[in-house]
Amino acid sequence: MINKLTPPIAAHNTSTHSPSHMVSPPPILFQPTIVIDASLSVDIHMFLLNFGTICNTAFFGTTISCWVIACLQWVWGYHLGIAYSMPLLHNLVCFCVYVYV
């Protein structure tokens, strides 16, 4: 029985070049070797001890990035007229909700 969710394997017919007839390689092939090596050689005990620090760094880094991009969008839209014009508070709320939800 053929699974309808998986794409068919491309035959050796060279006239079929559409992406729907090709099989995509697994995503692990596109990972850089340093990322794979780092993820396989991580010390689980140290990772779990530093998990709070890792989460805090990710949260504050994402929050700072949201604020910087929202402020740049506000300046480009409200003052320069290059982007869509919205008040600063709307930019901050919309962008942070978009990133965190």
Average pLDDT per 10 consecutive residues for the chain, totaling 101 residues: 51 53 60 75 90 94 88 84 81 75 65
pLDDT confidence of residue 87:
83
Question: What is the pLDDT, as a whole number, of residue 50?
Answer: 94
Q: What are the angstrom distances between the C-alpha of 37 and each of 32, 33, 44, 58, 95?
A: 9, 6, 14, 21, 34
68, two tokens: 């910087």
